[in-house]
Structure formats: C-alpha cells, structure tokens
Amino acid sequence: MAAMNDPLAAPVAAPIERYVPGTGQQHRHTIVVLVNDRPGVLNRVASLTRARNFNIESLAVGHTERPGISRMTITLRGDSFAVEQMAKQLYRLIDVLKVQDLPAEGVVEHELALIKVKATNHTRAEVLKVVELYKGRILDIGNDTVIVEHSGTEQEIDSLVALLGGFGIREMVRTGSVAMSRGSGVVDIEGILRSGTVPAVPTTIHPEEGNR
Amino acid sequence: MATEQEPRTGQATPAGMGRHVPNAGSAAAAEIEQARSTMLSDVKPRNRTRIGADALCEALLRQSVDTVFGYPGGVILPLYDVWGDYPGLRHVLVRHEQGAAHAADGYARASRKVGVCLGTSGPGATNLVTGIATAQLDSIPMVAITGNVPGALIGKDAFQEIDITGITLPMTKHNYLVRSADDIPRVIAEAFHVARTGRPGPVHVDITKDALTSETRADHPDTIDLPGFKPTFEGHPRQIRVAAEAIQAAKRPVILAGHGILLGDAMDELIAFAEKTQIPIAHTLLGIGAIDERHPLSYGYMGMHGWKHVNKAIQSADLLIALGMRFDDRVTGKVSTYAPRARIVHVDIDPSEIGKNVAVDVPIVGDVKRVLRALTPLMTLRAPEERAAYFAELAEWRSASEGVSWHGSGAWKDGLLSADYVVQRLGELTNHDATLVADVGQNQMWVARYAGFRRPDSHVSSGGLGTMGFALPAAMGAALGRPDKEAWAVAGDGGFQMVSQELMTCVADNIPVKIALMDNKKLGMIRQWQEIIYGGNYHSSTLPGPDWAKLCDAYGLPCFRARTPEEVDPAIRAAQAYDGPAMVWFETAETQNVLPMMPAGKGLSDLIETWEGEEA
C-alpha cells in the first residue's frame, strides 16, 4: 500500500549507516578544567574519565590565581564528539566550574621533565652539549649521572629524550602538559563564582504539590 | 547491621602501661583514642543540647520530608536517639537496606517528591548501593543518608568502616562526606537542591558519628551557592527556530517521549505540541504515562520489546523529535542502522545526553516543558487530514502488530494462564489508575505492553539499571507516596525472592501494597534468551520457589491464588477488597515468551515477532 505516493520513495539525502559517536578520526585534544579545590575532586575527575572510557594521556593539577580554585590540564585522544562528550560529562560534576577545549593553535603548552642521564668522564661533555643545545638545565652532577631539567612542548621533550637515550636514561619523570591560550583572553573565574545563589527551600515546596 | 562487636582491645593492659599507639602522646593520637571511646559509648543525650542529629532532622523537615525508609546500626544510632523528638518524620523500618533505597525511589516516582533513605556505615551503606544506582540510572530525586565512623577513625579500617563515598561517587549526582555538625544544615539543603533540580538524581550524604553527636548552633541556610551547578532551563531561541523549521518540513515525523516529560512535568505541553502539529507519540519504557495510551496520537511503546509498529514507524521516519529521552541501547538497538532516514531533534536538560549515543542534527539543551512552550507557538496548526496517508499507514501497521503475540483469551497454550492476560486484567480492574510497580524481566515487559496506562506516575519500573527485586520495596514507597492510589507490585517469582523479607515491613507498618506474583517457576527472561539466543541451553533458569501461600501465612497477609483465566478476576478483586497488604499468586505458563524481541546487538528492523520453537 501507499506505493504510489510513498514519501520514502522520494530521494532522501540521509545516511544509510548512521554515525556512531566516538568512532570518528582521533586527534589529540587539550582540555582545561577549573575545579573547586576540595578533597576528592581529583578523584571525581579521574573516576569519571575511567568510568566513561575516555583515553587520557596526561593530567596535571595545580593552583590558580584564585585561592580555592584549582586548574587541571588534561590531554586526551578522541574524535571531536568524544571530546565534547568528555567536557559535558565533566560539567555534570558539581565541583567543576569551567571546561575549555583549547584550540590546536594560539596556545602555549608546556610540560616539565627531569631526566637522570648516564654521564661518565668520557660522555659528560657531550651530554652537556646536547642539553645546552636544547636550552635545558643541569640540576645535579653525580659520579656517573647528571639530572637534566627541561621544559617545553611534548614534542621538544620527546626529541631531547630521544637524543639523551643514546647515553642511557636511568630515571625520568614528566609532569604532563599545562596550557594557556595566547593573548589577553582569560578565564573569568570571578564571574563564574558570582553567578548567584538560589533559595535553600524552593518556594514551590508544598505538601500537596510536591517539591520536585 | 544493628550490632556492634565487643571491644577486643583495652583489656588486660597493665596499669600505667598503655598499649602502643602510633604517634603516642600527639594531639592526633589523643583524638583517635577519644573517637574510639565515642564509638563504643552508649550515649544517651537526654536533657541535651542541640546536636548534629537534631540539625539533620530539622533540615529534613525544612525540606518537607515526611517519610524516611531506614535501618539502624552502630554509628547512625545518635540519629535514631533523637528521632522520637521529631514526630513529623515517619520512619519506616525496612528489613534490608536495599529495600529502603528502593522504597525511597518508589516514593519519589509516585509522589514527585524527593525520596529519603537511611542506613548505617559499612554493610548498611553498601546495601543501599544497588538502590542508589537504580535511582541514578533512572534520574530519580533521592537523598541517601548514611552514618560513618567518627572522623578520626576514617581510614583506620574501623568496625563497619568502608569508603562509602568512594563507592557512591560514580553512581550519584553528587555526594558528601560530612565531618562537622556545623556543616549538616548547609549540606542537607544542597543535597535536596541538587537531587531535585535540573535532571534529578540521587545524592548521597555520609555523616560521621561525631558530626551527629557534636553540639552545633549552625543555622539553616536561606540560600545555596553552587557556582558549578547551574542547569540550563531555557532552550536557545535560535535552536528552537531551527527545530521548528525541521518539524514543519517533515513528512513522517515521530515524537519520542521519554522520562523527562514526567520528570519535567511537561505532559500538557507534550499533548499541546503533538495535537497542534499532528505528530504521533512513541514512548520509552520510563516515558509510559507521559500520554494517556487512549489518545489518538499515542502510538505506543518503542524498543527491544516494544511494539513492532512503533519501531517500524521510527525506522521509516524522516524526523525524530526526542523529548527527555537518552537513546538507550534498548531503544535504538544497533545505532548504525537506527532510523536511517531520520534527522534528529533532541531536547534534554542534561547536555551530556546530547550526542552521547547518537549524533543529533538539532540539539536543544533545556527544560522540556519550557522548550515545548516556546516551540509550540512557532508551529503551524495542522489538521489530521494533512497527514492522512501517513496516518493510514501507521494505523495499518498498528492493527497488524497488535494482532500478533497477544494472548488476549487468557489461555496461552493447553489452557495455561497467560501472563499478558493477567497484566491486562490488572490494568482493567484497577481502572488504569493504580500505581503499577514492575519488577525486572518478562513481567516488566508485559506490564509495559499490556497494562494500559493513562495517568502520569502510574507506571514505576527500574528501566536503566534493570534491578531485580525492585518491585516490592518500590511499591511500598509508592503506596506511602501516593496513598490515594492503589499500589501494586508486579513481580516474577525470581525478583520477588530477592526481597521477600519486605513482606514483613508491609505487614508490620500496614503498608497496603498488593502483590501480583507472576509465578512461572522460571527466570523467565533468562529462559527466553536461552531458548532464542543460546540454542535452548537452559542453565540456572529454573527456579524453585516456596509455597507462597504458606509464606504469606507466616508473614501474616492473605494470599489469593489463580491458576486459570477464570480465577484471575476473583483473585484480583479479593486482594483489592482486603484492607492491608495482600498477594495474588498467579501460576502462569512456564515457557511463555515476550514477543516481539530485538536480539541484543541487532537493529530495530531485526525484531523477532513470532518464535516457532516455543515448545522447547
């Protein structure tokens, strides 16, 4: 029936295979999250990302210019839907005040690395030369090791690590990225905190009406 | 969880030679010792000052709480000690904490108020967990309160101590660990605000024993300041205009009405919108009651065990208007083949639901009631005749699918009692006005398909978590939350055996729950999957049960029995006529299947409508 004027017979420009969110092209994203500095907040964020199956590469937490507010920088891989979903899930946490997916351009993004490199009398000069070339710093010189400090983008540190790898890396720690957008734009923490209060007991509370 | 063990330490210690305490002599060590003695002392603070437990009771009363479902235990006892001073708070003593959580859930769903449950630390708290998770998955406003060991003992593996806030963190809307009596008024006010505002959900408040027993002068706040919790209520006007254009242009639109319609009290707005635009309404499991099923635009229940005609309409739609629903996998099946020709307008108050399971063409974040109020005036009034061809096709599909897998005669096979008939008669004999609380499994699907719902909040079901054992305790809550409506628990013999101890709560507190026990002596849905998907490998799906009449007799409630279609009506009527809790024991056919069925991992178009191998 309805074969003649079946609306389905008309050409429709809709996909036959519907896109499944999260299955698109994966990219590296940097997300900045402003949270209340309270016990357990890091746990909330970590628990959420694990439970929601997001693929985090690094997470760095620290203070902001505003006491009581911490800033997390999370780098993760995913398609744009997955990253948007991550941001929206983070907003469900009551201790999360602001989530920003930083653009790929116009951002300063650095991490810090401490690298303990094998450096004997034969190789020390060469190690120091490499470190100098990368504008790294030597924090400690031992009998047969040096500790190198370097801050830079993930790629810069990767590249230094690759070079120092030839001498033998004995120990390494990297902080994970922290990031900030360039220019005069800032995250308005005060504005978020001034967003206003609500009545503790809704005016609609009424035994007959219910209080949902 | 009501007992505390005898202290094992402290005896036979030589005088003047205290047992070694880490960091002995420090202030922290003294505090821990003090906390240990607090934990064991039998404080009776009569003739007393205002303590944290008082602040908690006052805070509950300020939120218009009248009923709390709970179970006492060591560290929550200070609360029970003052409870008698607050006659406005009714305490229902359940027989297991899971019952308390489900009862608070059922109370919330039936009454539209915030449900409250209460338990002690450790096992009391973990027993609440299944009920809290049930509320989380179904967005039910609930405040779950637990006691915890004194603050200084936290982290010491004290008796009945467990990191319960760590456990409830991923399954609540928010949770709190309260360590000071002074924080109780603010935290309780915030907890109720968060639980009921925006997309509702459960909030867990864990309170240390010393916070409950400490003196406090803290006032109840007049306002709440939560900068991180500002739900968006108004839909974006531009998005609403885009949606209006898409709806205007659609030839085969379908409304998908979800739980959000009920939670957002948008039933009238839904009908006004549908009637003006002449768009048929399909509903989700939890969207049942969003529209009277007799309404000409109500097209029926969608999804895995939904009506074939409804799923067919979705699969052939050119526009889906999703209102307060979340494209659960039980609704979509395989997403890649879901509604392949449809654009999607999605309205939800929780932005994280948009784009989570399916990609959406027109997202609108906002309260569905306000969005519909803004959207409907933008729509052109349509006459039903304008959609005559579409409606004729829908009507044809409907009559075809309603004729299949429906045993309206009452006898399924060989005269055995058909479960769908029982549910249908239950709907009719309660005038479709009772609160029907389903358990999980086949019984739940039969209720959803055949009871016939007309009133909002008349259908209560654990949709997201699918918690067996939900029906009886949730029906207790529903009976107390809506005392003007009959409350029926419809449960299979499997789910019922998980919570049958709550029969005693019903009898002891005279909670007039009626129970429709659908006894097929099987885990029916498990058996069905084993038959259809696992090639008839019936492992652990046959479930011997007790003699239910004797069980009811032992608990002190009547049990009416029905084994044939003729016995159904008299049994239901007898239970209705009894003043108090009563059971009807329906001995239904053992191998009846719920059809149609979408096998897991398949799409909505792959519905199994008939099953030849029913005689397994």
Report how far residue B562's alpha carbon sits from residue B570's, in angstroms, rounded to the nearest whole number.
8
* Choice between B612 and B90, residue whose per-residue pLDDT is larger: B90
Catalytic residue among B525, B583, B597, B598: B525
Q: Supply the CATH number for residue B145's domain.
A: 3.40.50.970
In this prediction, residue B26 has a pLDDT band, given cuts at 50, 70 and 90, of confident
**From A14, A89, A199, residue closest to B342, measured CB to CB:** A14
Nearest CA-CA partner of A203 in B266, B367, B64, B228: B64
- Residue B613, pLDDT above cutoff 70: no
- Residue B514, pLDDT above cutoff 70: yes
- Residue B323, pLDDT above cutoff 90: yes
**Single-letter code of the amino acid located at B138:** D
**From B192, B355, B392, residue closest to A21, measured CB to CB:** B355
Q: Supply the CATH number for residue B277's domain.
A: 3.40.50.1220
Per-residue pLDDT at A4: 39
B402 a catalytic residue: no
Q: Are residues B335 and B429 both part of a single domain?
A: no
Q: Are residues B463 and B340 both part of a single domain?
A: no
Q: Is residue B582 assigned to a domain?
A: yes
Per-residue pLDDT at B43: 44
Domain hosting residue B55, numbered range: 46-213
Q: Is residue B502 assigned to a domain?
A: yes
Mutation for testing the B interface, residue in A94, A187, A206 having most B CBs under 10 Å:
A94
Cα A44 → chain centroid: 15
* Choice between A11 and B523, residue whose per-residue pLDDT is larger: B523
CA angle B438, B441, B446 (to 5 degrees): 60
Per-residue pLDDT at A202: 79
**What is the percent of chain B with per-residue pLDDT over 90, rounded to a whole number?**
87
- Residue A3, pLDDT above cutoff 70: no
Per-residue pLDDT at A9: 42
B502 a catalytic residue: no
> What is the topology classification, in CATH, of domain A27-102?
Alpha-Beta Plaits (3.30.70)
A&B contacts, CB < 8 Å: 140
Give per-residue pLDDT as tens, B574-591.
999 999 999 999 999 999
**What is the percent of chain A with per-residue pLDDT over 70, rounded to a whole number?**
88
Mean pLDDT of B381-402: 95
With CA atoms as reference, the chain B residue closest to A207 would be: B64
Q: Which two tokens stand for residue B83?
A: 């409870």
In this prediction, residue A197 has a pLDDT band, given cuts at 50, 70 and 90, of confident
Phi–psi pair at B409, nearest 5 degrees: -75, -15
> Does the beta carbon of A16 lie under 8 angstroms from any beta carbon of chain B?
yes
Q: How far is A99 from chain B (nearest CA, A)?
A: 11
Q: Are residues B493 and B558 both part of a single domain?
A: yes
Q: Are residues B201 and B264 both part of a single domain?
A: no
- pTM, two decimals, is 0.91
* Choice between B3 and B355, residue whose per-residue pLDDT is larger: B355
In this prediction, residue A1 has a pLDDT band, given cuts at 50, 70 and 90, of very low
In sequence order, the 6+-apart residues with CB closer than 8 A to the CB of B165 are A40, B175, B176, B177, B204, B206
Q: What is the DSSP pairing of strand B487-492 with strand B435-438?
A: parallel
- Residue B541, pLDDT above cutoff 80: yes
Q: Is residue B536 assigned to a domain?
A: yes
Q: Are residues B381 and B430 both part of a single domain?
A: no
Per-residue pLDDT at B257: 98
Give per-residue pLDDT as tens, A54-107.
888 999 999 999 999 999 999 999 888 889 999 999 999 999 999 999 988 889
In this prediction, residue B32 has a pLDDT band, given cuts at 50, 70 and 90, of confident
Please state, as a whole number, how many other Cβ atoms lie within 10 Å of the Cβ of residue B435: 29
Mean pLDDT of B387-392: 97
For the stretch A3-29, what's the b/e string if a residue is b when 16 or more beta carbons lie within 10 angstroms of its beta carbon? eeeebeeeeeeeeeebeebbeeeeeeb
Mean pLDDT, chain B, integer: 93
Per-residue pLDDT at B614: 47
Contact (Cβ atoms closer than 8 angstroms) between residue B474 and residue B465: no
Mutation for testing the A interface, residue in B316, B318, B341 having most A CBs under 10 Å:
B341
- What CATH code would you report for A108-179? 3.30.70.1150
Per-residue pLDDT at B489: 98
- Residue B5, pLDDT above cutoff 70: no
Q: How far is B599 from chain A (nearest CA, A)?
A: 19
> What are residue A107's DSSP bridge partners?
A181
Q: Are residues B476 and B344 both part of a single domain?
A: no
Per-residue pLDDT at B498: 98
- Residue B406, pLDDT above cutoff 90: no
Mutation for testing the A interface, residue in B62, B112, B225, B332 having most A CBs under 10 Å:
B225
In this prediction, residue B133 has a pLDDT band, given cuts at 50, 70 and 90, of very high
Q: Is residue B538 assigned to a domain?
A: yes
Catalytic residue among B39, B97, B476, B530: B97
Q: Is residue B441 assigned to a domain?
A: yes
B576 a catalytic residue: no
Q: Are residues B312 and B382 both part of a single domain?
A: yes
- Residue B355, pLDDT above cutoff 90: yes
Q: Which two tokens stand for residue B359?
A: 């990609």
Report how far residue B206's alpha carbon sits from residue B165's, in angstroms, rounded to the nearest whole number.
7
Contact (Cβ atoms closer than 8 angstroms) between residue B91 and residue B83: yes
CA angle B57, B59, B64 (to 5 degrees): 95
Q: Are residues B424 and B395 both part of a single domain?
A: no
Q: Is residue B606 assigned to a domain?
A: no
For the stretch B117-142, what's the b/e string if a residue is b when 16 or more beta carbons lie within 10 angstroms of its beta carbon? bbbbbbebbbbbbbbbbbbbbbbbbb
B525 a catalytic residue: yes
C-alpha to C-alpha distances, B353 to A122, B138, B300, nearest whole angstrom: 61, 13, 23
Mean pLDDT of B262-276: 98
Per-residue pLDDT at B17: 53
Q: Are residues B395 and B426 both part of a single domain?
A: no
Q: Is the dihedral of CA B503, B504, B505, B509 positive or negative?
A: positive
With CA atoms as reference, the chain B residue closest to A210 would be: B113
Nearest CA-CA partner of B582 in B556, B547, B546, B554: B556
CB contact under 8 A, B336 and A5: no
Mean pLDDT of A153-157: 94
Contact (Cβ atoms closer than 8 angstroms) between residue B616 and residue B591: yes
Q: How far is A1 from chain B (nearest CA, A)?
A: 8
Give per-residue pLDDT as tens, B52-85.
999 999 999 999 999 999 999 999 999 999 999 9
Give the length of chain B. Answer: 616
Per-residue pLDDT at B2: 46
User: Is there a common fold for A27-102 and A108-179?
Assistant: yes
CB < 8 Å from B in window 57-96 of A: 81, 84-85, 88-89, 91-96
Q: Is residue B611 assigned to a domain?
A: no
Per-residue pLDDT at A188: 86
Please state, as a whole number, how many other Cβ atoms lie within 10 Å of the Cβ of residue B233: 15
Q: Where is B73: in which H helix or E strand? A: none
B97 a catalytic residue: yes
Mean pLDDT, chain A, integer: 87
Which residues of chain B make contact with A92, given a CB cutoff of 8 A?
173, 350, 352
In this prediction, residue B227 has a pLDDT band, given cuts at 50, 70 and 90, of very high
With CA atoms as reference, the chain B residue closest to A18 would be: B336
**Single-letter code of the amino acid located at B471:** A
Overall number of domains in chain B: 3
Q: Which two tokens stand for residue B520?
A: 């097929």
- Residue B361, pLDDT above cutoff 80: yes
In this prediction, residue B469 has a pLDDT band, given cuts at 50, 70 and 90, of very high
Q: Which two tokens stand for residue B117?
A: 């449950």
Q: Is residue B223 assigned to a domain?
A: no
> Does the beta carbon of A25 lie under 8 angstroms from any beta carbon of chain B?
no
Which residues of chain A make contact with B224, given a CB cutoff of 8 A?
197-200
What are the residue boundaries of the structural domains of chain A, listed by start? 27-102, 108-179
Mean pLDDT of A21-25: 88
